[in-house]
Structure 1
Amino acid sequence: MPVSASDVMQLRARTGVSINECKKALEEADGNEEKAIEILRKRGIATASKKAGRDQSEGLVFIEQSGTKAAVVTLKCETDFVARDSNFQNVGKAIVKALFAGGEAAAKKVADEQVPAAVQKLGENISLGEMQVIEAPIIGVYVHSNSKIGVVVALEGGSVDAARDVAMHGAALNPAYVRPEETDAGALEKEREIWREQLKKEGKPEAIWDKIMLGKEKKFREENALLTQPFVKDPSKTVQGYLGSAKVKTYVRVAVG
């Protein structure tokens, strides 16, 4: 039977479920709101909505890579216990495979189909986090052993092994930027304020502050940029020194927990 927009909105207010799902449930229940809620609960959707406001500080990173293409997904949950459950992991794997094969629309479709059932089964709020697809002639991928950090590096020149080494470096040192010149102006200004206070307390003449701060700024930029950090596998070189003439075209680092 046809249902009114107000009935749909009332059911949505009670359950938090999408308008489309509420409309379908009401139509199936012949307009009976309680029956519609029961239908939604049986589908696992209403239960999912009740958990939707809870914190999700855990989860896992999933990466699918083949040849010159990689897809990255984070799937979030409330506890590490659920993150280690095979049901949760199977959902993440299905989503990242869909992202790799069909893009974001395909990934979201799989998430919409599988996440509510996983919430119902595992009893926690679960949601799709970051999604990215990277394509380049040379791609290196690294997922940390706990699957909570994942890095993808795309190079122009170099080798897959070199790209993977740089991805491993990124997982370990977590650089904020790829190049020193990309340093955020706001972050830099906060550091300058700290340096001014330090120089003032140290009693340094104000006339030489600018010169000292230029050195501090250079060091700050280099310490926080991927290419100028000491390479984790050989600290006698910077990452760029390790790469030689190869250039980093894309750097993606995702983490959960």
Structure 2
Amino acid sequence: MPMPPQAPLPVRQFAATLLGFPNRSTANLPLWSFFGASAAPPGQSAAIIKQLRERSGAPIADVKNMLLEHGWDVEKAFEALRKKGLAAAAKKASRHAAEGLVGASFAAACASTASTGGTRSGGAGSVVVVELNSETDFVARNSLFQDLVREVMAAAHSLGQAAALGPDHSMNLEQLLAARTSSGATVSEAVTQVAAQVRENVRLRRAFRVDGGDGLVFPYVHQAATPGLGKLASVVVVRSEDGSPLRMQDSSISSSAQSSCSGSSSSSSETNALLQAAGEGLAMQVAGMRPAYLTRGSVPPEVLVKERELLMQQLQQDEAFRGKPAQVVSKVVEGRLTKLLGEMCLAEQQYVLDNNITVQQMMTRLRKDVGRPLQVSSFLRVQCGEGLGLRGGGDFASEVARIVNET
């Protein structure tokens, strides 16, 4: 529905003062925004501002103004922030408030070599990733808390593939909380017990399971203070493009046992080393560069359309492009979209271990060295406190409440 025309600035300033909005920035808003449509649900204005601030990374004043201007509709306000170039969604995906740990644990596919303690760094099998939150980092460094993370990961492994839900690899938390730990207690009971001992709110927030299937799965934990536990974990799955099983030789077991586990002949030590290095490097890539998609071809068409529209709207507001021919503007949009996709897509990113090549070029070299057509089939990235607020510094809720009260 079209909005009423703007009232003169003095009128808007008078209305803002009369209605209890003396802040200079809110006085510049349309007059209609001070009435019915701009009212936030009772008692929820601070929470809505906090939500959009964390999602967009835009200054709080701009966040509040956009919410007022769009009737406290979070989606419309977010799009408006993006159009004005105030929100960098892809680079502000995580704001850290909650403390705790993320744990990643690999389990080999063969029962005789299965390890849920994270002693191996990948291969044929599966990886579980769990996030356990606490109120302070002090508790996260406590051995009780760290042991609990390991117990939860072991319980997650025990549930098997049936516990994983959908393409995002997430696990059914209710099912995991009901699973038994090595002590016989349920995961839920174990979490409650540790919370009582450390006297903090401890909760299991998320859990994931990534299965390698006929490929190889590799976990990575960034700056792990203790093996398998840290603030950020990632997982990649590498498979053969032709669908044939991809396996690595385990020197800790006999050739006959390895053959019975993999169903195929073992790889050479040199091939093992190449696959291991590539898997670890790719997992590190996902952790550091946070891709959203595997390749440009996997980006949904609607995402491309939306990004083009946003880039076009940004250029239309840029004085430097006023009056420029449409074909020039279109070419700039496509150039910026290509750059954006280079950041969003794993295959097109610069490889973290060699800035002179892309991930795709690294995979091309690996195919040649290994003698098999290989591809990254999926990946996962989990960061502690992702989406929950700022890490450590300042009381963000109080900051939002102050701004709401001032305006």
TM-score, with structure 1 as normaliser? 0.71
CA deviation map 1:34-57 (0-9, x unaligned): xxxxxxxxxxxxxxxxxxxxx961
Contact conserved, 2:134 with 2:203, CA < 8 A, in 1? yes
**Corresponding residue for 1:61?**
102
**Corresponding residue for 1:32?**
none
The alpha carbon displacement at 1:189 in A equals: 4.2
**Corresponding residue for 1:77?**
134
The alpha carbon displacement at 1:203 in A equals: 3.8
Tell me the amino acid that sits aligned with residue 217 of structure 2. Answer: I
Tell me the amino acid that sits aligned with residue 167 of structure 1. Answer: A
Over the residues paired in the alignment, what is the CA RMSD in angstroms?
A: 2.3
CA deviation map 1:207-231 (0-9, x unaligned): 2211211111111111221110000
Change (3 A) 1:176 1:209: same
CA deviation map 1:144-165 (0-9, x unaligned): 1141110110011382331211
- In 2, the alpha carbon distance for the partners of 1:192 and 1:177 equals 22
Tell me, what secondary structure is at the counterpart of 2:317?
A: helix
- In 2, the alpha carbon distance for the partners of 1:167 and 1:193 equals 35
- After TM superposition, the structure 1 = structure 2 runs for residues 1-257 of structure 1, keeping only pairs within 5 Å, are 57-67=98-108, 68-103=125-160, 104=163, 107-109=176-178, 110-136=186-212, 137-146=215-224, 147-157=230-240, 159-183=275-299, 185=303, 186=306, 189-198=309-318, 200-203=319-322, 205-207=324-326, 208-244=328-364, 245-257=373-385
Contact conserved, 1:229 with 1:239, CA < 8 A, in 2? yes
Flag structure 2 segments of 5+ consecutive residues without an equivalent: 1-95, 109-124, 164-173, 179-185, 225-229, 241-273, 365-372, 386-407
The alpha carbon displacement at 1:87 in A equals: 0.8
- In 2, the alpha carbon distance for the partners of 1:242 and 1:188 equals 29
> Which structure is higher in strand share?
1
Report how many residues are paired: 202
The alpha carbon displacement at 1:122 in A equals: 1.0
Tell me, what secondary structure is at the counterpart of 1:159?
A: helix
- In 2, the alpha carbon distance for the partners of 1:82 and 1:216 equals 44
Tell me, what secondary structure is at the counterpart of 2:149?
A: helix
Tell me the amino acid that sits aligned with residue 256 of structure 1. Answer: C
Tell me, what secondary structure is at the counterpart of 1:155?
A: strand
**Corresponding residue for 2:269?**
none
- In 1, the alpha carbon distance for the partners of 2:384 and 2:155 equals 21
- In 1, the alpha carbon distance for the partners of 2:308 and 2:154 equals 39
- In 2, the alpha carbon distance for the partners of 1:227 and 1:178 equals 6
The alpha carbon displacement at 1:106 in A equals: 5.9
Flag structure 1 segments of 5+ consecutive residues without an equivalent: 1-54
Contact conserved, 1:151 with 1:253, CA < 8 A, in 2? yes
The alpha carbon displacement at 1:140 in A equals: 1.2
Tell me, what secondary structure is at the counterpart of 1:163?
A: helix
**Corresponding residue for 2:34?**
none
The alpha carbon displacement at 1:196 in A equals: 3.4
The alpha carbon displacement at 1:194 in A equals: 2.5
- Of all paired residues, the percent bearing the same amino acid is 27
The alpha carbon displacement at 1:107 in A equals: 2.9
- In 2, the alpha carbon distance for the partners of 1:188 and 1:119 equals 48
- In 1, the alpha carbon distance for the partners of 2:311 and 2:148 equals 42
Contact conserved, 1:178 with 1:226, CA < 8 A, in 2? yes
Change (3 A) 1:196 1:203: closer
